[in-house]
Structure 1
Amino acid sequence: MKHRVLGAICALAILCLASARLQALPSSPHSSATPHATSATGAPWWKNAVIYEVYPRSFQDSNGDGVGDLNGITQRLGYLQSLGVNAIWLTPIYDSPQVDFGYDISNYYHIDPRYGTMADFDRLVREAKKHHIGVIMDLVLNHTSDKHPWFLESESSRTNPKRDWYIWRNGRKGPNGKLLPPNNWQSDFGGSAWQYDPKTKQFYYHKFYIQQPDLNWNNPQVRKAMYDVARFWIRHGVAGFRLDAITTLFEDPKLRNEKPILGPNGKPQIDAFGEVELDDSLTNNLPQVHDVLRQLRQVADSYHRNVLLIGETYLSSIKDLRAMYGANNDELQLPMDMQVGFINKLDVKEFRARINEAETKLDGDEPLFVFDNHDNVRWERYATAAGVTDPVQRENIARLLAAILFASRDSALMYYGDEIGMVTTPPKTRAEVRDPVGLRGWPKNKGRDGERTPMQWNSGPNAGFSPAGVKTWLPIPPSYKTVNVAVESRQPDSLLAWYKQLIALKHANPALRDGQEIMLNTSNDSVLSWLRKTSQGQAVVVACNFTAQPQTIRFDLKPQGVSGAGLRTLMATPHDAEVQSLDAVHLGPFGVYIGQVE
């Protein structure tokens, strides 16, 4: 739900046709642990897992209405299994007026008819299990739709029993007696976070859209109602939940004003909506959140099948991230680590520091690395920030980011279409905009439509997303003719092949699956490299060239207790020189090398 400012958008990388040196691996790799189970070593299924975000509106249209749906996702489970994912996260599919495309929920117990029925959902869960894939629901706890029956009751009168289910406050008098909001808090989507209700003559609080009133989590009845929602979906077989905007559940009870964020010149910064940007220290990441997370974890653990809790956790420090696991590891199993994937520039020092923090300052807990999602410009933002326009080098950057995501010691969260190189395709005019963020922020902020375009399955009509002649809910990007699953499935050196091989290695190679992660050559500011090493002695080195110039590096692994000097190539960027020794690892522009130490 957290909004962002769109960067400049560049042309899509053209897929190169060079020969890659890839180790032969299974075509349909899987972790040894499937959802609801544990691995042979006793680890829960989500350890080292690959989780794939599906934006249901944009994945597959099964009924020809131009909008993706549950049956469309079920049709594509074979593809997801071949990719090697362990679970899919579905953005909200509940009943909703669709002001925020499902994040404004009017009924937590029903499937929105646009996506299908409860029978369709149950079928998806059953079929996904047959493909060794779990289904993770998006659970929106912070707010509901203003059309939810709870809110309709709450706004009906000040004495309604559900009045205290939301946050209602009196206004304050301004100049000339004008009624003003209770304080200066802002919505993440622009404007005041307070909306006046003339009927009851009070304001209600909304961290996001006006149509998304915040629930009052200080009310025990609210907590019980939402925990019951979680229980309902667990009983329907979900593998876990992604908790939307989880850090925003509580606000300062004294309603103090938030302070402006000052720029380098000492003046307040202006945000994408033309408003003074405020810090959110009084409306985000308050201590009471942890009490809710512990209670929700108790609900999840009561089912004794490793129900997973993922948190949408945009945090400012590794200390805050560690806190989300709980002092006794009794809160989130996988809070999203946004500090690695959203560095948004190819900076070796920054990546090294952030990954090393995840390895050394989480007390051994599993990080969940994320590079892309439905709220942010896709992977190509890294190529744009580096000023790279060459199509081969841009694709190499996509390979490099994938290597960091899948060859690190982490669970990995990827976004649909990244595996084929889909890029953000923003609206060209305001008339094309569907996202309210873009409607309000145009043209400085064009919204999030560009990263939500339909999945590109083949070169046929509507990219195989919808039948021919159907108007899709968002336009199909023109890149679909060459950037699609069908084309790349026939190319052994495609980005799709690269993703499949990386995910297979992550699941099958002992060092990449179980090994610790140690940064190497830490004085080198051009190449990010690290060692994955198991206690049994298996070792893999990974090197990523962050520059457009060829690089040659060497490794001395004796300080890490690794005696081997030879290398067996597991994966390498197409056209890069053959590597056989730790003494000379050659990397082309934005090249990647992954090798087994022998």
Structure 2
Amino acid sequence: MSSASSKAWWKEAVVYQIYPASFKDSNGDGLGDIPGIISKVPYIKSLGVDTIWLSPIFASPQNDMGYDISDYRAIHAPYGTVEDVQTLIDQLHNNNMRLLMDLVVNHTSDEHAWFKESRSSRDDPKRDWYFWRDPKFDANGNRKEPNNWKSIFGGSAWHFDEQTGQYYLALFLPSQPDLNWENEDMRQASYDDMRFWLDRGVDGFRIDSMNLMSKHPDLPDGKIVDDEPYQSGAEFFASGPRMHDYIREMRAVFDEYDTMTVGELGFTNDEESVGAYVGKDRHELNMVFTGDIVDMDFGSDSNHSKYGRGAFHPRKIRQITDMWQRVMPKVNGWNSVYLDNHDSGRSLSRYASDAPEHRSAAAKMLATYLLTLSGTPFMLAGQEVGMANLGKDYGVEAYIDVEGRNYYEAVLKTRGGDHSKMGDVMRELQLKARDHGRLPMQWDDSANAGFSAEGTKPWMTINRDYVDWNVASQVDEPDSVLAYWRKMLALRKEHSDLLTYGSYTPLSEGDTGEKVLGYERQCHETGKTALVLLNFSDREQKVQVKSFAQREFEVLVSNQDTNIKAHNVTLMPHGAVIKASYVTLMPFGAVVLVDGC
């Protein structure tokens, strides 16, 4: 099925995510800022992207890097001012580009004026803007939390307030109390904050922890699955009974403007539930992040825990890609297409290879994947130059993110404080810690990677590989990862009818082998067809696609030297190619073949 009949700007957008603290420090304080981003608008435009998504920049005590907001109408002072943001909006619009902001409205900081008022007294008018509950008591009279929910960052999700004698709910850090969306006054105040930015020209929002805004009204205990004191309450705090009501009400605000919306849909990735959020007739969200694509190497234990021992296999990306590419046309919805974000390790290191001999090909292969699927592609700053995770020679001191450090310290405590017994935990941090997606941008080979002036101390670890992997070394190099991204972005725009709106038909594992992902894109209006082959291994792979034996294809793009004779192509490790009937993919090779052009 083709979606060309319902074209929209946000379907054709390519989104470039910027983690503000890590992009460009303009004033030498070691922290990225809005003026630094403004200075790089020409570079971002030169890539061929047309939309920027900024991770949170609002006023915040920064206990969770800005996802703890103390004032939605002010900017975190080290980042700049509201006027700086307005300048950024204006410069983007002058360049036919758009801006998405991160909307964090499941919770606030405990320093937000709303929570301070709510906390002041049980009778305060804003008391019900958050979740407050009386304690329980065990048989011995010991005070207990209202339920057994575990915080997403570990420990109890409930925190006792001595002044008023009740607990408040905070699913993340204790300093991030959850808002009670049942309260209409609170909802209307949130909508007013959204309008504050929409009136200034912001073009849309990525809605953080979107489906946690509706909880089961009784807040029941989570199912006990182990002997830990706290359990997951996700079945009761994710996608609760009024979730769709809240999103439709919010959508009425967005419809006053020409906005793009993408919701972060945690704990929910089944076809029926996702379709209910994005189906066009539902009138809720443009698209969602389901999260399954960034947890393909999570633990194989019953909890599928992030830092549990797991492994990536190309079969996983095949299953996820096939499912969502097929589901969205059925529900008249739209995909977000991504591999990296600020909450994950770099896909290059997790799903491909950052080994020197394969890194360039692997980065190009992943770019081919992102830009040949139906949906709106999201790329994280640094992907375009092949940025990778911190290497194995970095110790735990290099990791500063609260999620990873809390996990490390919790396990360390159970092992008697013996760091020598933490090798398995370090392995998982080296793959999956959020720090990797937040590493400072690698601009050049000068001190601090050109992110910050020499003599300053950057806010977090800079990957030592910046000397070889940076923008300056690639910008004029025709065979670089950066040049390949530019080529792919231009091709996607040129062949929008095919690569954005065309239908998707997967090749089976029987066709390609278990290490090669293959699919066909077709524009039914023109008959144009593309065949995409991606080698997710470090070994040469040969693929014979019998159904294409009688068709004449041309190579649209490839990340390897193609050897195509009589429909015969070899894919190098991590190769990607679009075309052909018999293909040999070199390690991480990628080929895109087209006919009907």
Q: Which interval holds the TM-score relative to the shorter structure?
A: 0.7 to 0.9
1:241 deviates by 0.3
One-letter amino acid of the structure 2 residue matched with residue 220 of structure 1: E
Cα separation, partners in 2 of 1:58 and 1:330, compared to 1, 3 Å: same
- 1:221-271 per-residue CA deviation (whole Å, 9 max, x = no partner) reads 01101111111110010110000001111222222110134xxxxxx387x
Residue 529 in 1 paired to residue 529 in 2? no
Length-normalised TM-score, structure 1: 0.85
Gaps of 5+ in 2: 298-310, 410-424, 568-579
Match of 1:585 among 583, 586, 596: 583
- Does the alignment pair 1:440 with 2:379? no
Distance 2:346 2:4 in 1: 36
Structure 2 SS opposite 1:177 = coil
SS in 2 for 1:210: coil
Shift of 1:545: 1.9
Structure 2: distance between partners of 1:86 and 1:467: 28
Query: Does the 8 Å CA contact 1:383/1:389 hold for their aligned counterparts?
Result: no
Q: In 2, distance between residues paired with 1:97 and 1:503?
A: 37
The CA deviation string for residues 425-456 of structure 1, in whole angstroms up to 9 with x for no partner, is 28945555432223422253755323311100
- d(CA) in 1 for partners of 2:296, 2:436: 20
Which residue number in structure 2 is paired with residue 552 of structure 1?
A: 542
- Residue 483 (structure 2) aligns with: 497
Determine if the alignment matches structure 1 residue 324 to structure 2 residue 314.
no
Does 1:466 pair with 2:452? yes
2:326 to 360, 377, 380: 360
How far residue 406 of structure 1 moved from its aligned partner, in angstroms, is: 1.0
| Pair 1:153–1:590, CA change in 2 (3 A) | same
- Is 1:233–2:197 an aligned residue pair? yes
Which one of 235, 254, 257 corresponds to residue 300 of structure 1? 254
Q: 1:543 aligns to what SS in structure 2?
A: strand
SS of equivalent residue, structure 1 residue 110: strand
Amino acid at match of 1:154: S
Distance 1:583 1:378 in 2: 32
Alignment of 1:143-154 (within 5 A): 143-154=107-118
Contact 2:294 2:344 in 1 (8 A): no
Tell me which residue corresponds to 1:133. 97
2-structure distance, mates of 1:579, 1:514: 30
CA contact (8 A) 2:560 2:590 kept: no
Deviates more, 1:440-449 or 1:412-421: 440-449
Corresponding residue number in structure 2 for 1:488: 474
- Give the aligned residue type for 1:587: L
SS in 2 for 1:361: helix
Residue 397 and residue 579 in structure 1: after superposition, are their counterparts in 2 closer, same or farther (change >3 A)?
Answer: farther
In the alignment, what sits opposite 1:507? 493
- Distance in 1 (CA, whole Å) between partners of 2:60 and 2:125 is 24
Would you say the 8 A contact 1:48–1:506 is kept in 2?
Answer: no
Distance 1:196 1:337, change over 3 A: closer
Asked if 1:183 is matched to 2:141, the reply is: no
Distance change (3 Å), C-alpha of 1:566 and 1:383? same
Question: Match for residue 59 of structure 1?
Answer: 23
Aligned equivalents of 1:547 and 1:434: distance in 2? Answer: 32
Structure 1 position 218, deviation (Å): 0.3
Amino acid at match of 2:333: D
Partner of 1:19: none
Q: Distance in 2 between matches of 1:41 and 1:460?
A: 49
Hey, what's the Cα distance between the residues in 2 that align with 1:186 and 1:576?
Answer: 52
Contact 2:354 2:362 in 1 (8 A): no
Q: Which residue is equivalent to 1:282?
A: 236
C-alpha distance in 2 between matches for 1:235 and 1:105: 20
* Structure-1 separation of matches of 2:342 and 2:53: 12
Is the partner of 2:172 in helix, strand or coil?
coil
| Aligned residue in 1 for 2:592 | 594
Q: Secondary structure in 2 aligned to 1:214? A: coil
Map Cα deviations across residues 326-382 of structure 1 (whole Å, 9 max, x no partner). Answer: 572311101114334543465444333322222322223211022111111111343
Is residue 422 from structure 1 mapped to residue 387 from structure 2 by the alignment?
Answer: yes
- Give the deviation of 1:87 after TM superposition: 0.8
Distance 1:564 1:75 in 2: 52
Distance 1:319 1:579, change over 3 A: farther
SS at 1:47 equivalent: helix
Once the two structures are superposed, the pairs formed by residues 209-224 of structure 1 within 5 Å of their partners are 209-224=173-188
SS of structure 2 residue aligned to 1:309: strand
Change (3 A) 1:368 1:178: same
Q: Any stretches of 5+ residues in structure 1 without a counterpart?
A: 1-38, 262-267
Structure 2 counterpart of 1:455, from 435, 438, 441 = 441
Q: 1:518 aligns with which of 496, 505, 526?
A: 505
- State the partner residue of 1:7: none
Q: Within 1, Cα distance between the matches of 2:365 and 2:354?
A: 16
Q: Distance in 2 between matches of 1:160 and 1:188?
A: 29
Partners in 1 of 2:447 and 2:163 — Cα distance? 51
Instruction: Count the aligned residue pairs.
Output: 541
In the alignment, the residues of structure 1 paired with residue 182 and residue 224 of structure 2 have an alpha-carbon distance, to the nearest angstrom, of 27
* 1:71 counterpart = 2:35: yes
Show the counterpart of 1:204: 168
Secondary structure in structure 1 of the residue aligned to 2:532 = strand
So what's the TM-score if we normalise by structure 2? 0.86
Q: CA separation of 1:433/1:278 partners in 2, compared to 1, >3 Å: closer, same or farther?
A: same
With over 3 angstroms needed to count, the CA separation of the structure-2 counterparts of 1:422 and 1:203, relative to structure 1, is same
Are the counterparts in 2 of residues 338 and 369 from structure 1 also a CA contact under 8 Å? Answer: no
Equivalent residues of 1:530, 1:543 under 8 A apart: yes
Paired letter, 1:322: G
Alpha-carbon deviation of 1:203? Answer: 0.3
Distance 2:323 2:166 in 1: 46
Cα deviation code 1:256-303 (max 9, x no counterpart): 110134xxxxxx387xxxx76535101112131111111111111122
**Which residue is equivalent to 1:108?**
72
Decide whether the 8 Å contact of 1:366 with 1:410 is kept in 2: yes
One-letter amino acid matched to 2:285: L
Q: Which has the higher helix share?
A: 2
Distance 1:53 1:580 in 2: 42
- Name the CA distance, whole Å, in 1 between partners of 2:587 and 2:397: 40
1:513 deviation in Å? Answer: 3.0
Task: Note the C-alpha offset of 1:110.
Answer: 0.8
Q: Residues of 1 paired with 2:246 and 2:317: CA distance? A: 32
- Pair 230,174 (structure 1): closer, same or farther in 2 beyond 3 Å: same
d(CA) in 1 for partners of 2:148 and 2:216?
Answer: 12
Q: Which deviates more, 84-93 or 513-522? A: 513-522
| Residue 192 of structure 1, aligned match among 139, 156, 162 | 156
What secondary structure does 1:281 align onto?
helix
Q: Residues 269 and 373 (structure 1 numbering): CA distance in 2 closer, same or farther, change over 3 Å?
A: farther
Q: Secondary structure at the match of 1:353?
A: helix
Q: Deviations over 1:98-151 (max 9, x none)?
A: 111111111111111111011110000010112222110101010111011111
Whether contact under 8 Å (2:448, 2:454) holds in the other structure is yes
2:519 and 2:145 map into 1 onto residues whose CA distance is 52
Output the CA distance in 2 between the equivalents of 1:579 and 1:288: 59
Distance of aligned partners of 1:151 and 1:341 in 2 relative to their CA distance in 1, 3 Å threshold: closer
SS across alignment from 1:369: strand
- Structure 1 window deviating more from structure 2 (321-330 vs 400-409): it is 321-330
8 Å contact 1:579–1:586 — kept in the other structure?
no
1:371 to 339, 343, 350: 339
